[in-house]
Amino acid sequence: MTVTTAKIPMVGYLVLDDEPHLVAQRCVACGALFFDRRNGCARCSATEFESHPVANTGYIRSYTIVHRAAPKVPAPYVSAVVELDGGGVIKANLVDVRPDPDAVNIGGRVRLTTFVAGVDDDGTEAVAFGYIQEQ
């Protein structure tokens, strides 16, 4: 007998399937991409959106090393702005990278990864995402 652990994404735009990925909201009028729910486009003010899967790969546009965090959040860690292949920009943490400027490569390639951020009393796993630097 196999026991399946329930998993839920930490954010609504993370899809947990055979190959986890992110889904943006794309403005039908101008093509601008946004993560999470939108009432209006920040670029053109249109109000119609469609779901648009984005690439799991991209490059590091910018980053910062965070030294102070909320309680129970280990710090320091690297928070990055990732330019996604094919369009879209997202802010996310770099996973498994030393929080040191010598360890982060601006312009370096990254790929999406997921990890368990916490487990509730019923054993349901809350799954978060971040990016891993490619070598």
pTM (global) more than 0.85: yes
Model pLDDT for residues 52-97, shown as the tens digit of each residue: 999 999 999 999 999 999 988 899 999 999 999 999 999 999 999 9
pLDDT band at 135 (very low <50, low <70, confident <90, very high): confident
- 3-state SS of the chain is CCCCCCEEECCCCEECCCCCEEEEEEECCCCCEECCCCCCCCCCCCCCEEEEECCCEEEEEEEEEECCCCCCCCCCEEEEEEEECCCCEEEEEECCCCCCHHHCCCCCEEEEEEEEEEECCCCCEEEEEEEEECC
